[in-house]
Amino acid sequence: MTALLQGIGLQRSYGPTPALRGIDFEIGAGEIVAVTGPSGCGKSTLLHCLAGILRVDAGEVRYRDQDLGLWSEANRSKLRRTEFGVLFQFGQLVPELTAAENVALPLLLAGSGRREARKAATLWLGRFGVGDLADQLPGKMSGGQQQRCAVARALVTEPKVLFADEPTGALDALTGEQVLTEIVHIAREQGASVVLVTHDAQIAAYADREITLRDGVVDRSGLGLEIGS
């Protein structure tokens, strides 16, 4: 499979502490790859570097065979708004905006008209079962409802790559499963790729394949996760 997104020899440190120590990664169009490993192994840092949120100290992140490190910040930012979607565990909605305004935001930033953005936002909220909360502020919603809105917001631009960092970590098991199932359906229908960071084997099983990190490198031993991570 031709790689849509690639990381080559990625290195990144926080001060003197190395988080990534030379990681190679690739994901094809429409592929779902789980990144697993114990706490502190570098999986979230890898996601942030691949999504262009963090810059790498060494190595290359290549998207459609172009080195993103050579792109201007403006172009990288545009890429994040249009072709990439990012989803975290929690705390992503703007508290002053309603659910629909939150979901419409990426479209407005990408230049869509207000009416068109609102229409798309309502549609995506409906897909995740929270269409009736369109005019609700995040503070009035449950954690599960907020996360469904966040997923809708991450997908409203129909990104080519969705980066999901423990996307169901704050949800109860059944809600988490519904959200993941819907993400898989959408990814399959739209041919989108998903980088899914998780420490949970059951969540990782939603992916087509899995890579495990340990101490900032890819662990090929097959030993898997560590208990209690």
Partner 1 sequence: MSTSHLMLGLLSVGPQHGYDLKRAHDERLPQAKPLAFGQVYATLGRLERDGLVEQAGQDRDGGPDRTTYAITAAGREKLGEWLAAVEPPAPYVNSVLFAKVVVSLLASGATAATDYLVAQRAAHTTRMRELTAVKTTRESTAGDIVAADYAIAHLDADLRWLQATLLRITDLHREVTA
Whole-angstrom distance, CA of residue 156 vs CA of residue 214: 33
Which one among 210, 213, 214, 218 touches partner 1, defined by CB under 8 A?
Answer: 210
Q: Is 16 in the site for partner 1 (CB under 8 A)?
A: no
Q: Which of residues 19-48 bind partner 1 (CB under 8 A)?
A: none
The residue from 39, 66, 77, 181 that contacts partner 1 (CB under 8 A) is: 181
Size of the site for partner 1 (CB under 8 A): 20
Identify the H or E element spanning 83: none
Q: Counting contacts by CB under 8 A, is residue 220 touching partner 1?
A: no
Q: Which of residues 190-209 bind partner 1 (CB under 8 A)?
A: 201-202, 204-208
Identity of the residue, 5 or 204, whose beta carbon is nearer to partner 1 in the bound complex: 204
Concatenated DSSP letters for 11-66? EEEETTEEEEEEEEEEEETT-EEEEE-STTSSHHHHHHHHTTSS--SEEEEEETTE
Binding of partner 1 by 221 (CB under 8 A): yes
Where do the DSSP E strands lie in 32-184?
32-36, 58-63, 66-67, 84-87, 161-165
Residues that bind partner 1 (CB under 8 A): 177, 180-181, 184-185, 201-202, 204-208, 210, 221-227
